[in-house]
């Protein structure tokens, strides 16, 4: 189903040249806001790609999180674009990676409930982790462009009392992201250091995507 935001206050658009709006293969409110705030006309058609088997195969084959994230971003964009001929379609995926002293990767998914969110925050407390963000553009099922970028974040030592207060305050919002936080909101309080592109942390290589759209003359240069 495509959402066209008929009742949503739209930011001003700038420079879009393609005949059809950009199609976002994601239900992420953050990604929607990023694209609209950047002046792009979008419609939304969330992908129904099942991430679990792709991640399971990646773990079994010792595939890096960056490669798996890019596979998922491509799969999402490709599957949706095949149902919308000729329309530029963007897909994205983000993975949270915690590495131990042997560089073994532990991947985190969106927590399914408050208990898992509490457990994940307790594990990440006082440690550095990496957010890996992949973005892909497809037209008619064919990959036109893709990228994988990462950011490094160091979480401060969190008391159990703080974690409980954080979860009480955010409620179900902690279930919306892989780390149980949104850095642009109350999640900023969790960190002592952040290194990396802000858009990458939010879940999309926005600057790379805009450059690709200019290169294909879908966006005014």
From CA 57, how far away is CA 75, in angstroms rounded?
A: 14
Instruction: Please report, for the domain that includes residue 112, its CATH number.
Output: 3.90.950.10
SS3 assignment, position 42? strand
Asked, for residue 111, whether it belongs to a domain, the answer is yes
Domain that holds residue 55: 22-215
Q: Say which range, 113-117, 127-131, 176-180, 197-201, has the weakest mean pLDDT.
A: 176-180
Asked whether residue 49 carries a pLDDT value surpassing 80, the answer given is yes
**Choosing from 48, 93, 205, 215, which is the catalytic residue?**
93
Asked, for residue 11, whether it belongs to a domain, the answer is no
Asked, for residue 196, whether it belongs to a domain, the answer is yes
Asked, for residue 53, whether it belongs to a domain, the answer is yes
Asked, for residue 184, whether it belongs to a domain, the answer is yes
Asked, for residue 134, whether it belongs to a domain, the answer is yes
Across the chain, what does the average pLDDT equal?
Answer: 93
Q: Say which range, 49-58, 81-90, 168-177, has the weakest mean pLDDT.
A: 168-177
> How many residues in total does the chain contain?
221
HSE, CB side, 13 Å, CA atoms: give it for residue 121: 29
Mean pLDDT over 139-149 rounds to 98
Helix ranges restricted to H, the chain: 29-37, 51-60, 65-81, 114-124, 160-170, 198-202, 206-215
Asked, for residue 6, whether it belongs to a domain, the answer is no
Q: Clarify whether 93 is annotated catalytic.
A: yes
Mean pLDDT over 113-126 rounds to 95
Report the number of distinct structural domains present in the chain: 1
Asked, for residue 221, whether it belongs to a domain, the answer is no
Q: Which of 118, 30, 134 is nearest to 76 (CA)?
A: 134
């Amino acid at each position: 189903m495509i959402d066209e935001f008929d009742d949503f206050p739209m930011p001003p658009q700038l420079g879009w040249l393609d005949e059809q709006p950009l199609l976002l293969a994601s239900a992420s409110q953050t990604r929607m806001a990023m694209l609209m705030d950047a002046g792009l006309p979008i419609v939304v058609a969330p992908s129904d790609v099942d991430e679990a088997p792709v991640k399971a195969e990646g773990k079994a084959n010792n595939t890096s999180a960056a490669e798996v994230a890019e596979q998922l971003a491509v799969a999402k964009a490709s599957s949706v674009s095949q149902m919308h001929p000729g329309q530029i379609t963007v897909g994205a995926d983000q993975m949270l990676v915690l590495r131990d002293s042997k560089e073994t990767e532990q991947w985190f998914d969106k927590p399914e409930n408050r208990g898992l969110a509490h457990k994940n925050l307790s594990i990440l407390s006082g440690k550095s982790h990496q957010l890996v963000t992949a973005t892909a553009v497809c037209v008619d099922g064919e990959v036109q462009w893709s990228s994988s970028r990462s950011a490094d974040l160091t979480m401060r030592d969190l008391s159990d009392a703080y974690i409980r207060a954080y979860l009480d305050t955010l409620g179900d919002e902690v279930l919306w992201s892989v780390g149980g936080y949104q850095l642009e909101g109350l999640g900023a309080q969790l960190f002592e250091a952040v290194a990396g592109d802000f858009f990458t942390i939010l879940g999309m290589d926005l600057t790379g995507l805009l450059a690709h759209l200019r290169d294909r003359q879908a966006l005014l240069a």
